[in-house]
Amino acid sequence: MDSKEQLQAVQQASPREMKPQAFDMIHERRSANYKPNIWNYDYIQSLSSIYEGQEYERRAQTLIVNVKDLFAEAVDKVAKLELIDKVKKLGLDSHFDVEIKEALDIISSTKNKNPSPKEDLYTTALCFRLLRQHGYEVSQDMFRGFMDEKAGLFKKSTRTNIKEMLELLEAAHLALEGEDIMDAARDFSTETLKDCIPNLDCDLAEQVSHVFELPSQRRVQWFDVKWHIKAYEKDRHMNAMLLELAKLHFNIVQATLQKDLRESSRWWSNLGVIEKLSFARDRLVESFMCSVAVAFEPKYTCLRKWLTKVISLILIIDDVYDIFGTFEELKQFTNAVNRWDVIETQQLPECMKICFLALYNTTNEIANEIQKEKGWNQLLPHLKKAWTDFCNALFVEAKWYNMGYTPSLQEYLSNAQMSSTAPLLLVHELFSMGHEVTKGMEDFLEKNQEIAYNISMIIRLCNDLVTSVAEQERGDAPSSIVCYMREANVSEEIARMHIQGMINKTWKKINGQCFKQFPKLQFVNITTNTARMAHSIYQNEDGFGVQDQGMKKNILSLLVKPFMLY
């Protein structure tokens, strides 16, 4: 029975449903005034690329073999580190896992981790960052030789080296809790670079601004690749073979992503829900971009497909709770989700029935597909629980709104652990990886709730920093900013600074959990990408609410426009 047949069956089962519909005629529904979707279905289906062809894949493989020779040619430590760094920034690191590990093993095996008199701050910072990013044990004491021990500050040089200050700032954002030297490194490099900006040439100033806007540890790697390729093209030490591989690889990945997007677009169109939910966000392409942020590699096509469906549903269900539903309707809707029963929606307005049916059918389909493709058994209960927890958390926020209640910041964040969507996303990400996680990992999130909580905080707080004003204007439940303003009796500016400080502290916790406990699990990188995704979506605007600004530019750059090679 398809969605339309199920809906007809529900309607026939309950003639009493006229009551809510009659109520809707006199009840004024709220509106977020979301603009219509700008990505036309036919336009998405028209996306195609010549780089799907085998000839380009063969050329890429030839270049990969040749670039491997560069690792053999990089004899000294700095050359090895810079090649690893360049390969990673250009999005090519997955092709050189063996070479990167061999090089870092050699560097890491050096017993004396303190810098030698000949080793400069740039080399030390680059070494620290790459070792820590790849899960090697590395201490902040590497920087002690560059500090004035009495003052606890970094020594100032008579001549500022922008390159080493940028590298020191990037390294500082990999700090763990309690690393005071890394805090000093962040403050020192930030202050030094700010003083230098007026005197820098355009290219250097752009690099400094790029790191100030968002350090690489908080950026989605694939979203940044095109920027790094263009920057590398201007580098006087550029290797033409490596540049060609980076551009070709980008185009090949883009071709795969276009294919995945076309498939997701067909699913969304066939689902047919958005025509009935005019109040909700129709953001299929943005949802797909989020799935790309989590895992861009071609081998993760299935993960992207399933995650795109989940995020698209999250948006419309969030709008049902935040904008459309009355309190009694939301109570019924939440009950239907908890019972996972279509019949429980029979007295709801038709659009809410359609929304639940979309959730019900899509989740069942995803569970079946993952079980078939990845080999998991009894998956549906895990997915149902994730959706139940999410909707229950949204209902708590609806209660706060209807009561006119402002919770404490801690109470708000405790509920936000679920309403942020992080646990819901992480459950789907975990099971979508199939054989790449062992059966013993099935209760991974249960055992490691702390990392899930911290990712939840990043998503929730980044969201609030951007959407709080619009939500206040339309009278939504209070955000973390409003909760802190009222609790601490402070201005909005001070509250925002406090929330930003919480984000910085939370990243230190995430760093510790990723670098120390699970350095070799690909799932951990995907998990961390979920937090990075939030920074990307909510960096300067609401990437889901506003389509025609930064998000549109990123979509065109990453999904539509290839590099010209010849």
The answer to whether residues 169 and 315 belong to one domain is: no
Segments forming the whole domain that contains residue 527: 18-42+247-560
> Is 483 inside any structural domain?
yes
Beta bridge partners of 154: 147
CA distance 321 to 160: 53
Q: Using a pLDDT cut of 70, give the percent of the chain over it.
A: 88
The answer to whether residues 191 and 270 belong to one domain is: no
* pLDDT tens profile 234-257: 999 999 999 999 999 999 999 999
> Is 10 inside any structural domain?
no
CA distance 265 to 352: 22
162-172 vs 121-133: helix crossing angle, rounded to 10: 30
CA distance 494 to 317: 32
The answer to whether residues 37 and 80 belong to one domain is: no
The answer to whether residues 290 and 178 belong to one domain is: no
pLDDT at 140 over 90: yes
* pLDDT tens profile 464-506: 999 877 666 666 678 999 999 999 999 999 999 999 999 999 9
Lookup result for tokens 């209960």: 381
> Is 237 inside any structural domain?
no
pLDDT grade for 535, boundaries at 50, 70 and 90:
very high
Tokens of 131: 């070792």
CA distance 357 to 501: 41
The answer to whether residues 186 and 258 belong to one domain is: no
Domain count, the chain: 2
CA distance 369 to 363: 10
Q: How many CB atoms lie within 10 A of CB 56?
A: 18
* Residues ≥6 apart with Cβ < 8 Å to 536: 219, 220, 223, 293, 543, 554
* Residues ≥6 apart with Cβ < 8 Å to 364: 380
3-state SS, residue 39:
coil
CA distance 140 to 176: 9
CA distance 408 to 486: 8
Contact assessment for residue 193 and residue 162, using Cβ atoms and an 8 Å cutoff: yes
* Helices of type H across 320-441: 327-339, 350-374, 380-403, 409-419, 422-432
Tokens of 381: 């209960």
**Last-in-domain residue among 193, 213, 233:** 213
The answer to whether residues 209 and 257 belong to one domain is: no
Q: What is the CA radius of gyration of the chain?
A: 25
pLDDT at 107 over 60: yes
* pLDDT tens profile 66-87: 999 999 998 899 999 999 999 9
pLDDT at 112 over 60: no
* Helices of type H across 404-491: 409-419, 422-432, 444-447, 449-473, 480-488
Tokens of 413: 């964040």
409-414 long-range contacts (CB < 8 A, ≥24 apart) are 409/480, 409/483, 409/484, 409/487, 411/483, 412/478, 412/480, 412/483, 413/457, 413/460, 413/480
CA distance 324 to 418: 21
Helix (H) or strand (E) holding 245: helix 240-271
Widest CA span in the chain: 84
pLDDT grade for 424, boundaries at 50, 70 and 90:
very high
CA distance 422 to 386: 10
Predicted local distance difference test score (pLDDT) of residue 430: 87
CA distance 121 to 168: 8
CA distance 303 to 321: 27
Identify the weakest region by mean pLDDT among 22-26, 82-86, 393-397, 511-515: 22-26
Beta bridge partners of 153: 148
pLDDT grade for 165, boundaries at 50, 70 and 90:
very high
The answer to whether residues 160 and 303 belong to one domain is: no
The answer to whether residues 348 and 477 belong to one domain is: yes
The answer to whether residues 351 and 208 belong to one domain is: no
> Is 478 inside any structural domain?
yes
> Is 413 inside any structural domain?
yes
Q: How many CB atoms lie within 10 A of CB 521?
A: 17
Which is nearest to 356 in space by CA: 306, 308, 393, 320?
A: 320
CA distance 176 to 310: 32
> Is 457 inside any structural domain?
yes
pLDDT at 352 over 50: yes
Question: Which residue would you say has higher pLDDT here, 25 or 330?
Answer: 330
* Residues ≥6 apart with Cβ < 8 Å to 208: 162, 166, 193, 196, 197, 200
Residues across the chain: 566
CA distance 126 to 410: 38
**Last-in-domain residue among 213, 233, 267:** 213
> Is 218 inside any structural domain?
no
Tokens of 545: 């609410």
pLDDT at 321 over 70: yes
Average pLDDT rounded to a whole number, residues 263-290: 94
The answer to whether residues 184 and 273 belong to one domain is: no
CATH number at residue 481: 1.10.600.10
> Is 8 inside any structural domain?
no
CATH number at residue 102: 1.50.10.130
Predicted local distance difference test score (pLDDT) of residue 521: 64
Which is nearest to 66 in space by CA: 242, 238, 235?
A: 242
| Whole-prediction pTM | 0.91
Residue 154 phi, psi (nearest 5): -75, 145
**Last-in-domain residue among 213, 239, 274:** 213
The answer to whether residues 302 and 358 belong to one domain is: yes
pLDDT grade for 17, boundaries at 50, 70 and 90:
very low
The answer to whether residues 27 and 106 belong to one domain is: no
Identify the weakest region by mean pLDDT among 121-130, 292-301, 508-517: 508-517
